[in-house]
Structure 1
Amino acid sequence: MTTLLLFVLFALGLIGGFFSGLLGIGGGIIMVPLLLYVPSLIGLEAIPMKTAAAITIVQSMAGSFSGLMVHKKNDFVHTKLIIYMGSGVVLGSLVGSFFSKQIQGEVMLGIFAGMALIATVLMYIPRKKDDDLPVENVELNKFLAFFVALLVGILGGIVGQGGAFILIPLMLYVLKIPTRIALGSSVAITFLSALAGFIGKWGTGQIPFVMAIVLVVGALIGAQLGGRLSNRLQTASLRTILSAVITITALKMWFELNPIVGYLLTIGSVLFLLVFFLNGKRKQKNPDSSNITLKT
């Protein structure tokens, strides 16, 4: 292990931690592609998917915990949401991480790409105006929250992710949680998920701790910076940034798995965004007639 590799890992941890605090994600959606592709681009030995998954779960745990401290101060953390989703995601993550040692790296990459693609689709579903409700006024479907988190935990445990990049869209569009509360609460849920995944991968001897610790140091610093910036940005801006990050990652993963599928999904994404943009412009020019009152 060279000094250059350790420096690169620190820098990548800084980037992943920043997005963890900014967007309420563990950073793995960004970290895995960076670990897979950046070292080889600068002439270092490529990091295998299994190793990337193992050290990312440690970074995700540290980055989400650091980001949680910032969001807790801003009162964007929903306790009941954390209890129900946290218990589901912990159980699922323990199961997924325990069996991940028997799963091939290519299969892990496919699961990761599939999760990113689903998250991408969910993030572009039209959403009604986002009410910045106080935490105590947000309603929650407890059983749905638990089972959604359980499924995400199983998949996240396999690929070394806290799963926030797909948990957040599910919280926004399935559970109908306001954006800021979804972002703030997700870091706590992600921490619990990553902690369970860490225990599973540590117990099966999959974690190279020197690489993981260097990554964590960068993540802790980056998460504090990202969390502070998150409080200054508008809700729409946060959702746009998160959508872009997930979309780019999903497409990159599919190019890695199958270039033809990657090209088709890229073309489809461009067409979808074009239609989405034109439809938004049409609605601005022709407001809903239901908003027009007739004089009598």
Structure 2
Amino acid sequence: MTVLLAATALPCGLVIGLLLGALGGGGSILAVPALVYLMGQSPHGATAGALVVVAVGAVGGLLCHARAGRVRWVAGTTFGALGTAGSYLGSRWSATLNADVLMAAFSGLMLVVAAGMLWRGGAGLRRSRGGTEARTAAVGSVEPVPLVSQGEHAAPEGASIPEVRAGSPNSPSRAPSWPRRARTGPDPTRRARPLRTVVTASSVGLLTGFFGVGGGFVVVPALTLVLGLEMPVAVGTSLLVILINSAAALATRAGTGSLDWPLLATLAACAAVGSQLGNRLAGRLRPQTLTASFAVLVTVLALAMAAATLPDL
């Protein structure tokens, strides 16, 4: 690895890590275009090398979620193991494609990711607005009524207090409303569907092996819909699935070509540092702003990649 490559890998790794830490996923999709267009790697080598960055990022995030108790080890290991076959096939399939075809397909994937990020950001904004309107309506339901004189403690004439409505949050007969503890296990009302689980897990593994990305934007909804996990637990468990699929895909690609391990190690280490900085940055910026900015960046890169590769097909 030359000094120029190392100097390029440092900021790229930090940016990828910042996005991973601030958004909780998605930043690894930038590893492939960074390796191809900034560090001179071949498309096939870049999709294989990106798996190293994905795996390192998954390990760091997995440890944090595990300490918080948001990882279901049995469910995640089972789902990831079921996806190893798809990961193997995806890796083999990717290796047989023309480089331009592979990059054109990757640009299409980036557009899908950008659209998903924008939709998720818009859904979060709608939920926050709905919560604000509900709180405003609750406050506006309190009405003043005159006080009744009670001897020496009577209130001045014309004074008023808020009326306490039955069933309102201020009602003495109403029990305190404590925050409910989040359900962290599978939904007991959801029936297990083995065939659906196998197909979904294999599809996730195929995506990871083919494009060299973690696929968290697919894994999290899959764990939520198929296994019935709550969102925070699905996010933590998805990192275990991503780690298993990435390791399987990387093992499949190990003998298909040479990887620049010093370059990849530098990129992954910088991504790990950037991820810690991104975690701190996430608390200071609005999530909608981060998501929209990332979606715009991914869209621009996808269009540039498509413009560069489609004419050569």
TM-score, normalization by structure 1: 0.69
Whether contact under 8 Å (2:186, 2:229) holds in the other structure is: no
Q: Hey, what's the Cα distance between the residues in 2 that align with 1:25 and 1:11?
A: 18
Query: Offset of 1:132 from its aligned partner?
Result: 7.8
- Paired residue secondary structure (1:77): coil
Which residue identity is paired with 2:183?
P
Gaps of 5+ in 1: 40-44, 262-296
Which residue identity is paired with 2:112?
I
Q: Hey, what's the Cα distance between the residues in 2 that align with 1:191 and 1:17?
A: 16
Whether contact under 8 Å (2:77, 2:240) holds in the other structure is: no
Q: Which residue of 2 aligns with 1:203?
A: 255
- How many residues were matched structurally? 251
Q: Hey, what's the Cα distance between the residues in 1 that align with 2:27 and 2:295?
A: 11
Q: Hey, what's the Cα distance between the residues in 1 that align with 2:234 and 2:186?
A: 14
Which residue identity is paired with 1:134?
R
Q: Hey, what's the Cα distance between the residues in 2 that align with 1:142 and 1:122?
A: 26
For the pair 1:97 / 2:149, whether they are aligned, the reply is: no
Whether contact under 8 Å (2:111, 2:302) holds in the other structure is: no
Q: Report Cα offsets for 1:62-103 as digits up to 9, x if no partner.
A: 111111111111222233541343123322112211332222
Q: Which residue of 1 aligns with 2:201?
A: 149
Q: Hey, what's the Cα distance between the residues in 2 that align with 1:115 and 1:174?
A: 23
Q: Which residue of 2 aligns with 1:220?
A: 272
For the pair 1:159 / 2:211, whether they are aligned, the reply is: yes
- Paired residue secondary structure (2:71): coil
Which residue identity is paired with 2:250?
F
Which residue identity is paired with 1:190?
I
Which residue identity is paired with 1:101?
A
Whether contact under 8 Å (1:26, 1:190) holds in the other structure is: no
Q: Which residue of 2 aligns with 1:25?
A: 25
Q: Which residue of 2 aligns with 1:245?
A: 294
Kindly tell me: are residues 175 and 239 of structure 1, through their superposed partners in 2, closer, same or farther at Cα, counting changes over 3 Å?
farther
Whether contact under 8 Å (1:53, 1:159) holds in the other structure is: yes
Larger Rg: 2
The structure whose residues are more often helix, as a share, is 1
Whether contact under 8 Å (2:51, 2:246) holds in the other structure is: yes
Q: Which residue of 1 aligns with 2:306?
A: 257
Q: Which residue of 1 aligns with 2:71?
A: 77
Kindly tell me: are residues 72 and 243 of structure 1, through their superposed partners in 2, closer, same or farther at Cα, counting changes over 3 Å?
farther
Query: Offset of 1:2 from its aligned partner?
Result: 2.1
Whether contact under 8 Å (1:112, 1:159) holds in the other structure is: yes
- Paired residue secondary structure (1:135): coil
Which residue identity is paired with 1:4?
L
Kindly tell me: are residues 85 and 53 of structure 1, through their superposed partners in 2, closer, same or farther at Cα, counting changes over 3 Å?
same
Which residue identity is paired with 1:254?
L
Q: Report Cα offsets for 1:11-58 as digits up to 9, x if no partner.
A: 322322333344343742122233344x3xxxxx64332232122111
Kindly tell me: are residues 22 and 73 of structure 1, through their superposed partners in 2, closer, same or farther at Cα, counting changes over 3 Å?
farther
For the pair 1:15 / 2:20, whether they are aligned, the reply is: no
For the pair 1:189 / 2:189, whether they are aligned, the reply is: no
Q: Which residue of 2 aligns with 1:288?
A: none
Which shows bigger deviation, 64-73 or 138-147? 138-147
1:64 to 58, 63, 66: 58
Kindly tell me: are residues 215 and 83 of structure 1, through their superposed partners in 2, closer, same or farther at Cα, counting changes over 3 Å?
same
Whether contact under 8 Å (1:132, 1:178) holds in the other structure is: no
Query: Offset of 1:185 from its aligned partner?
Result: 1.9
TM-score, normalization by structure 2: 0.66
Q: Hey, what's the Cα distance between the residues in 2 that align with 1:180 and 1:60?
A: 20
Query: Offset of 1:251 from its aligned partner?
Result: 4.7
Give the % identical residues. 25
Kindly tell me: are residues 85 and 229 of structure 1, through their superposed partners in 2, closer, same or farther at Cα, counting changes over 3 Å?
farther
Which residue identity is paired with 1:13?
G
Query: Offset of 1:150 from its aligned partner?
Result: 1.3
Structure with higher RCO (Cα < 8 A, 6+ apart): 2
Q: Which residue of 1 aligns with 2:149?
A: none
Gaps of 5+ in 2: 129-179
Q: Hey, what's the Cα distance between the residues in 1 that align with 2:84 and 2:26?
A: 15
Q: Hey, what's the Cα distance between the residues in 2 that align with 1:95 and 1:189?
A: 17
Whether contact under 8 Å (1:70, 1:227) holds in the other structure is: no
Q: Hey, what's the Cα distance between the residues in 1 that align with 2:56 and 2:94?
A: 21
